[in-house]
Amino acid sequence: MAPKLLIHAVASGKKVARKVTEFLRGVKFVEQAEVTHSEIVGYRREKDYEKLKRTPIPVLSPQETMCQSAEDR
């Protein structure tokens, strides 16, 4: 399943849930987001952390992915 499809499905589900809640309660649903941030006292990054080379993440080509999916069946 494509990530984009899953994200849109979840978003659509949330919209439907809000509308059902509004209908059942008879009032407009007001979303209240709570933002939290916890500071870690005394935490510091290593010097020049941003300059470190990133480790490449191995990925499969679409062809390799299709071959593996066919083998799993």
Condensed to tens digits (0 to 9), the pLDDT of residues 26-45 reads 998 787 888 888 888 998 88
- The residue ranking higher by pLDDT, 14 or 34, is 14
In a domain, 20, yes or no: yes
65 inside domain = no
State which residues form the domain around 26. 1-34
Q: Is residue 53 part of a domain?
A: no
How distant, in Å, are the alpha carbons of 1, 37, 43, 64 from that of 40? 37, 10, 6, 43
Query: Is residue 57 predicted with pLDDT exceeding 80?
Result: yes
- Position 7 in a domain: yes
pTM metric for this prediction: 0.40
CA–CA distance, 8 with 69 (Å, rounded to integer)? 24
Residue 62 lies in a domain: no
Domain count within the chain: 1
Domain-embedded: residue 13: yes
Q: Is residue 48 part of a domain?
A: no
Q: Read off the pLDDT band of 71 (50, 70, 90).
A: low
At 1 the pLDDT is 54
